[in-house]
Amino acid sequence: MSPDDVRARLLSGLQGQQPTAVSSAARRLLLIAGAGSGKTEVMARRVAWWLADGVPKDSIVAFTFTEKAAEEMKFRIRRYIEAITPEGDDATLGGMYVGTIHSYCFKLLKELNPSEYHNYDIIDEIARYALVQRRFHNLLGLPAFQTAISPGRQYRASQTETTDRFLYAYDLLNEYNVLRVELPERPRPTELGAPEADWCREARLLVNVGTSDAAQTFARSAARLYAYLRCRRFLDFSTSQSEAVRLLTDEPHAAELLRQRVTHVVVDEFQDVNPVQDILVRLLVGDAGHLTAVGDHRQAIFGWRGGRVEIMAALAGELRDDHDGDVLELTHNFRSTPRLIAVSNNWNRTIGVPPNLTSPDMRHGRVARTDYDPSHVAALSFPSRADEANWIARTIQQLVVPTTGEGARHDTREGDRGLTYSDIAVLIRTSTDARTYMMTLRAHGIPAVVRAGPDLFSQPEVLLVAGVLGLSAGMDRFLGGRDARSLPSRINATLGCAAEPIPVIETAAAHLRAEGISLAADVEARLVAAGQAIHQRISTQRRLAARDIDGVRTPHLREFLLRGPQPLRRVFPQSIFHDILAELGVAEWDEEGGRSALAMFHIGQLSSLVTGIETPGWTSAGDYPYQVQGLLLWGTKNAREEAAPLLVTPDAVQVTTIHSAKGLEYGCVFVADVCSSRFPSSRATRRPDVPFDGSILRRIDPAQIADNPMRDGERRLMYVALTRAERYLFVSSSKPSEYFATRPRSSIPGVANIIQSEGGVAFAALADVPANIDTLPSEVSRENRLVTSFSDMRYFLECPHDFYLRKVLGFTPTINQAFGYGRGIHNLLREIHSDPQSWAAIAGDREALAVRIQALIERGLFYLRHTTGAPAENMKRQAGEIIADYVETYAEELARLQFEPERDFETLIEEEQVLVSGAIDVVRLDDPPRVTIIDFKSGDPESDERMSLDEEEMALQVTMYGLAARHELEYEADRGLVRYMGETEDGRRELEVDLDHQSLAEARETIAETARNIRRRDFRAGPLRAPRKATSRTRCDECDFLGVCGMQAAYAARG
């Protein structure tokens, strides 16, 4: 393909500065991309432009703000790679990285220092919160910090407030790249309990955070938390970034080698990067690398999460003065109608402009998208929020008429069509404001899905289960204070009862019955009995008598209460949670559609949170109450429902916060609840309380974290809300704030006044808005992409309903004590195949092998968070023997060949637009490009029970890897092997898998057909496989979710 052809294909259809942005020769380029300016399209084409110029794929790194944005970027880049790739060649991303910064940092740490970081995991927010709650008193010593932040107060700071303030300050140290901790010189212990606690107490924070009691006590606890996370092989999101920056800063040679490999960097949403991310980007780019930063200072809305718009302003100043830098502005809005653009331009003029930046008006870029009627852009006020919500619901009923299959007229690139529910969003300032709107839509029969609110703990079914969990942890009442997001406040708003477990159980059950959800007549009494019995079993660590649990029916729960170890050394929170669900009878809710299906989704999301509290490791009987408390305290303030696109009908209104709507667009937007004290938030300018004093405040300035006196952060948030709309926009309030209507003697207009000045309707009679609605047949979006992994798809192949419960609803399996065994085996195998010749050299010396393997185990490569004592030692001994046997068996191969262990991949099945990710255990380099794909099975039945595959499934998995090796890794993989670790019979050590063209084609069709079935939501089927164990009657007997499954086969298995 000629350079002119490439240029024509990559610049076709672009307008304004877009072609210049795609083809710019500037080494460092800042694109100020206004709302609706097509920035993703420009970034994707710019990456393709670099590739056409000869930049290797694996030299490009593209950072996005979210994983969802990364998925969109990957598909767009592939489209343009395909446009410039000769027919017959694979249009793949190759080794290009497209994803979030924190994921890249974690990947980088594993690559640059695998011996230290390869066995680490990212700990999510709830797991970290639960870990802090468990170690609040002894290891972390947080009561001293609690006392230090309480002087002058009537009441001592609560444990919740203390934990929140501690973690907020800890994250600030990471976000500003000042966290430095001196760890003990002696090796980290691999045993759980006292040895690790003693080690962590010796850690010291090196950065001076101040001399006050608050600063000193914080410093001690922060050092211990960092040490404890390292001891447990965890990094949190913020630490993963600062750790990567620290590695590159402390080891300039590693940074230089990385810059030689990574030469071109894209950063999306640059207005929201934080200081440590800015440092990372500068380390990657250096003095010779290429940077394309894309952002819009008018949409900088994540300052509360560390984003600093000043970083973008500083880069703009640098590039305007740099001979090989440039700043371009994309000012054509291709999203909205002229009136909407005029309204947002007017509002933009009320926002302060950072230094070195400008805020020019956006121009209408989509000529065919014109305004139909003045009343389609309107601002209205109401006597109450209930009146406002009812008007929104009635208006949606005008805009979408399901009985006729029609909706309000809207234009797309394919032609005019009617709006659907999925074209409509209700945007609110905070998630705590969502419940009224959600319940009103539900009452009007309008399907809706919630993104980022209301949180899970505003749902009666979640509160019901929370009540039982509270009883199981011995709680008399729920904690949380007066905060509107606390559990007592949620209970009061949703149920109107006392914030105590038994009243919550009884009142929530009554609410659910009123909503038509199936509950047994005696379920409240049985749940109370179950919760109290679990608490007694755990607190006394003794078995109960049969007479004490007459009301409990669930067999597995009765087994736990009546039998099992005594004294009780450990408990499994997810197992207890599943038993509670079985006692509740949630299997009766397992239906297609309706309120019961929504309730199951909420319970599934709660199951995911329970896994979070179990993630940090072994749960002792004494830890369990703290874990439940952590779950409830963190969850009520932070837990939110996922969008669940496979659960709900695709045609549903979205109720979401403005922050969550960033980057999205809708045919119709309702900006609701623009009320005094709520929008703008009365707390926006409040400086955060940080336990710092002295010089560190010059680096971490609370005044910069808070909104400025003009509340520009809140104004930018309104700008984001207004610019989500493509055609219809309705701004509403029940107690108008200054953002809604102009205040007397104020020179800054409100949105309603701006709308009126631009020809829209404001302060009108409700009956007049909206008017002149033309309807056309509705058509739901044709967007049909699926991003998944083979591990996920195999659940569907085994049992579609298992996939539904696990991957759609979010139910998670219980964790057993062997959890992590298989991963430990794989870690040891990675070490062997990274240096095969040295291992082959000692294959004949069993003693030398044992010593070297033991050294790896002691270094933490075989780390078991959920096991201690004799069971842990037995697993380590077994693992050592298995690995030694492997080296002896394959010594000749290890001596002769080279290997690439753990090759990540993503491969696209084009015909179904399904992107499948995975990791090949080992690529054996037989005679490159000829290779063999090797997959290992760990050899421990208990560890592998849930993940074990039959031979057909294993062959499909390896064949899928073969497809990826050919298309993404550019190898000729004609053979695959499954190796069974620990197998001593020669004939059973390996399963050979053909990777010929027919096998690859059949695997491709299987994956494509599975994707089609998932999209069709064909989940009411299964199981499709025979049982794994000879002692099982059916596959259901072995299922993780037998107690919650509503399929007929599950009922039969339960008996």
Lowest mean pLDDT among 268-277, 581-590, 983-992: 983-992
Q: Give the model confidence (pLDDT) of 325-348 as tens digits.
A: 999 999 999 999 999 999 999 999
Average pLDDT score over residue span 715-735? 96
Q: What's the pLDDT band for 646 if we cut at 50, 70, 90?
A: low
Domain assignment present for 358:
no
Lowest mean pLDDT among 13-27, 456-470, 600-614, 691-705: 600-614
Which is it for the CA torsion 81, 82, 88, 92, positive or negative? positive
| pLDDT value, residue 945 | 46
949 has pLDDT over 80: no
Distance CA 321, CA 864 (A): 54
- How distant, in Å, are the alpha carbons of 826, 880, 977, 1032 from that of 939? 11, 12, 15, 20
Q: Where are the alpha helices (DSSP H) in 772-897?
A: 790-798, 800-803, 821-834, 836-841, 846-856, 869-889, 891-896
Assigned token pair, 243: 């750790």
Average pLDDT score over residue span 874-883? 93
Average pLDDT score over residue span 266-292? 96
* Range of the structural domain that residue 953 is part of: 784-813+898-1055
Task: Identify which has the larger pLDDT, 815 or 411.
Answer: 411
| pLDDT value, residue 642 | 56
Domain assignment present for 590:
yes
Virtual torsion, Cα 661, 662, 663, 666, nearest 10 deg: 40
Question: Across the chain, what does the average pLDDT equal?
Answer: 90
Q: Give the model confidence (pLDDT) of 86-118 as tens digits.
A: 876 778 888 899 999 999 999 999 999 988 888
For residues 313 and 460, state if they share a domain.
no
Assigned token pair, 571: 């408990």
Distance CA 232, CA 171 (A): 18
CB 153 within 8 A of CB 173: no
CB 639 within 8 A of CB 452: no
CB 181 within 8 A of CB 235: no
Q: What's the pLDDT band for 227 if we cut at 50, 70, 90?
A: very high
774 has pLDDT over 90: yes
Domain assignment present for 717:
no
The helix or strand, by DSSP H or E, that contains position 295, with its residue range, turns out to be strand 290-295
| pLDDT value, residue 783 | 58
Domain assignment present for 749:
yes
68 has pLDDT over 50: yes
* Angle between helices 790-798 and 951-967 in degrees, nearest 10: 150
Q: Output phi, psi for 821, to 5 deg.
A: -65, -50
CATH of the domain at 383: 3.40.50.300
Distance CA 667, CA 182 (A): 54
Other CB atoms closer than 10 Å to residue 23's CB: what's the count? 15
21 has pLDDT over 80: yes
Distance CA 401, CA 959 (A): 48
Question: Last residue of a domain, which of 286, 306, 334?
Answer: 334
Q: Output phi, psi for 410, to 5 deg.
A: -150, 150
Cβ-based neighbours of 729, under 8 Å, separated by 6 or more? 340, 343, 376, 377, 378, 668, 669, 671, 722
Other CB atoms closer than 10 Å to residue 998's CB: what's the count? 9
CB 365 within 8 A of CB 15: yes
Closest alpha carbon to 821 in 855, 865, 886: 865
What angle (nearest 5°) sits at the alpha carbon of residue 133, between those of residues 131 and 134? 65
Residue type, 689: D
What angle (nearest 5°) sits at the alpha carbon of residue 648, between those of residues 798 and 666? 135
Lowest mean pLDDT among 570-584, 594-608, 708-722, 793-807: 594-608
Average pLDDT score over residue span 704-731? 94
Domain assignment present for 355:
no
Beta strands in 360-517 (DSSP E): 363-364, 377-381, 400-401, 406-412, 415-418, 424-428, 448-451
Other CB atoms closer than 10 Å to residue 187's CB: what's the count? 10
644 has pLDDT over 60: no
For residues 631 and 521, state if they share a domain.
yes
The CA-based diameter of the chain, rounded to the nearest angstrom, is 90
639 has pLDDT over 80: no
- How distant, in Å, are the alpha carbons of 686, 706, 1022 from that of 709? 10, 9, 60
Look up the pTM and report it: 0.90
State the binding site. Answer: 33-40
For residues 662 and 632, state if they share a domain.
no
Phi-psi region of 653 (alpha: psi -120 to 50; beta: other; left: phi over 0): beta
Cβ-based neighbours of 615, under 8 Å, separated by 6 or more? 121, 123, 124, 127, 130
Beta strands in 588-680 (DSSP E): 653-657, 666-671
Domain assignment present for 710:
no
| pLDDT value, residue 641 | 57
Assigned token pair, 181: 């901790």
Question: Last residue of a domain, which of 881, 896, 911?
Answer: 896
For residues 949 and 997, state if they share a domain.
yes
CATH of the domain at 946: 3.90.320
Q: What's the pLDDT band for 817 if we cut at 50, 70, 90?
A: confident
- How distant, in Å, are the alpha carbons of 189, 204, 511, 627 from that of 222? 20, 9, 43, 20
| pLDDT value, residue 1004 | 92
Question: Last residue of a domain, which of 862, 896, 930?
Answer: 896
533 has pLDDT over 70: yes
Distance CA 794, CA 461 (A): 30
Assigned token pair, 234: 């965890």
947 has pLDDT over 70: no
3-state secondary structure 214-261: HHHHHHHHHHHHHHHHHHCCEECHHHHHHHHHHHHHHCHHHHHHHHHH
Give yes or no for a cis peptide into 770 (omega within 30° of 0). yes
Q: What's the pLDDT band for 273 if we cut at 50, 70, 90?
A: very high
| pLDDT value, residue 939 | 63
Task: Identify which has the larger pLDDT, 662 or 395.
Answer: 395
For residues 85 and 155, state if they share a domain.
no
Cβ-based neighbours of 581, under 8 Å, separated by 6 or more? 465, 603, 1043, 1044
Which is it for the CA torsion 523, 525, 530, 531, positive or negative? positive
State the binding site for ATP. Answer: 33-40
For residues 517 and 604, state if they share a domain.
yes
| pLDDT value, residue 927 | 92
For residues 15 and 54, state if they share a domain.
yes
- How distant, in Å, are the alpha carbons of 224, 595, 780, 955 from that of 229? 9, 41, 46, 38
Domain assignment present for 707:
no
For residues 263 and 189, state if they share a domain.
no
Q: What's the pLDDT band for 413 if we cut at 50, 70, 90?
A: confident
For residues 437 and 558, state if they share a domain.
no
279 has pLDDT over 80: yes
What is the total count of domains within the chain? Answer: 6
| pLDDT value, residue 782 | 57
For residues 914 and 1000, state if they share a domain.
yes
Domain assignment present for 704:
no
Closest alpha carbon to 326 in 296, 286, 297, 293: 293
For residues 434 and 304, state if they share a domain.
no
For residues 578 and 674, state if they share a domain.
no
Residue type, 540: T
